[in-house]
A = this chain, B = another copy of it.
Amino acid sequence: MRRTPATLPPGSTLGIVGGGQLGRMISQAASRLGFDVVILEPEPDSPAGRVSARQITAAYDDPDALGELGRLCPVVTFEFENVPAASLERLAAAGARVAPGPRALAVAQDRMEEKTFLNGAGAPTVDFVAVDDLSDLQHGLERLGLPAVLKTRREGYDGKGQAWIRSADDIAPAFEAMAGRPAVLEAAAPFVRELSVIAARSDDGRTAVYPLGENVHSGGVLAVTTAPALASDAVQRRARAIAEAVLEGLDYVGVVGIELFDLSADDGEAVLLVNEIAPRVHNTGHWTQDGCVCDQFEQHVRAVMGWPLGPTEAHARVEMTNLLGDAVEQWRDLAAKDDVRLHLYGKAEARPGRKMAHVNRVLGPI
């Protein structure tokens, strides 16, 4: 079988599974470094496909398409974590190096596995209980107390597949909302704020960690990230230690996004819990496009193509705002502002809640 060299020179081809905005921005970063990009995506004419050398239009688990992608591309990565394990095996069988690797994906695809891994790696989470039936749920609530949140183990994102339980009346509806899928009950975290850390690891084990972002969600979906977040040295050190533990523990290659609950008291020690990890570039890292010399997308490409990691220092403080659905119409006003940089995803239809664009407002130099 073909062996992929450790370092891929410019002119090599990168495969990306997924054709949305994250794939689009990875592709744009890859082309800046002289790489060609092939997208695998069932939706024709996708946001990523339209800025890439080629799109293979097929399902993510189509065996022929995966074989072709693996043959065309010495390295394949992905823009979302719910890629079937069998797809990764087919890519590897066709000769591609898949990064991040199957273990990172498997851990991130299942909230039980994820939380178990994190706690084992020294990256604590809220208390949690596996819920397969109503009896599990009732016992879990006795242990964790109220409020608590019930989540499907697999395939939830942006607040989907989640139900809060604040009183006994919520128990039955929450359980029904899982529709029989395996679930996990999580204790509520009494957090002060939500932070996130974007970090990368190269094939040779080097790591690079960006400054913290502070995030505001609305309706379960990220609304605003401000970065670098104002944070004590202790919080920054703790976040870096968590990021490095996650990267090492998963033998990770590429960029990871780690969402954190900050429970630190103003004058006390740093208390950070991991909410979840995303084995990919992350919405809370979009600020790096206009705050850093090497943004998270270029960093990811560097890591998976075996290049040295780029610098992670911020040269500007940035406020990133998502434009969901109709909010994308604000482009007219935003385009006239001197301190913002627009990033539009090329999606035709502005469905309610759909991520259409983001805007980075440069707050000032560091």
Residue numbers of A with Cβ under 8 A of B are 7, 9-11, 24, 27-28, 31-36, 45, 50-53, 290, 293-294, 302, 307-308, 310-311, 315-316, 328, 331-332, 335-336, 338-339, 341-346, 348, 357, 362, 365
* The residue from B31, B50, B335, B344 contacting A24, defined by CB atoms under 8 A apart: B31
Contact in complex: A341, B294 (CB < 8 Å): yes
Chain B residues positioned under 8 Å from A290 (CB to CB): 293
Q: If the complex has contacts A294-B341, A341-B294, are A346 and B34 also in contact, measured as CB distance less than 8 A?
A: yes
Contact sample, A vs B, 6 pairs, CB 8 Å cutoff: A10-B328, A11-B346, A33-B344, A34-B357, A35-B346, A310-B335
Bound Cα distance from A158 to B60, whole angstroms: 47
Contact in complex: B51, A344 (CB < 8 Å): no
Bound Cα distance from A22 to B42, whole angstroms: 31
Contact in complex: A10, B51 (CB < 8 Å): no
* The residue from B34, B328, B339, B365 contacting A344, defined by CB atoms under 8 A apart: B34
Number of copies: 2
Nearest CB of B to A295, in Å: 10
Contact in complex: A365, B365 (CB < 8 Å): yes
* The residue from B7, B32, B45, B331 contacting A342, defined by CB atoms under 8 A apart: B32
Nearest CB of B to A336, in Å: 4
Bound Cα distance from A341 to B302, whole angstroms: 12
Closest B residue to A50 using CB positions: B53
Chain B residues positioned under 8 Å from A9 (CB to CB): 331
